[in-house]
Structure 1
Amino acid sequence: MKIENINRKFRQLSVRILRHRLLVMGLFALLIAFSFVGTKRIVMTTYMNMYSLVLADTQWCAVNETYARAFS
């Protein structure tokens, strides 16, 4: 693709964004709002030996349970 084609596509995109700027700003604000709502669901847990290559049985069970709760 030639550079003129790329420049033309960027120019067309910028014209569309400027033409519909209120809609674009509204969608951006909505995306930010959903991001803030989603941060409440993030759970951070660490285990002391989680970074070792071999996990003990109790640690392995705790890790599996944590992932099962998070992704079920």
Structure 2
Amino acid sequence: MPTPPPAALLDFERAHPRHSGWKEEAIRRELGLSPVRFYQLLGRAAETLEAMAHDPVTARRIRDRGRRAA
């Protein structure tokens, strides 16, 4: 399965903001990715101009979360 575009990753995260076992299953089922890979791609996607244009609120939330963890 090809890598989902940044917009698809942001849409998924906006629809499923809380981390849970159910979310991990949905990541595998709906996106065809491991949860680790999803979060790697999501973090990169949130830094793109495409993400900021598509969903600035979700992109900013992800970017801020990454900065707090660093």
TM-score range, shorter chain: under 0.3
* TM-score normalized with structure 2 length: 0.27
Q: Which structure has the bigger radius of gyration? A: 1
More helix by share: 2
Q: Larger relative CO (CA 8 A, sep 6+): 1 or 2?
A: 2
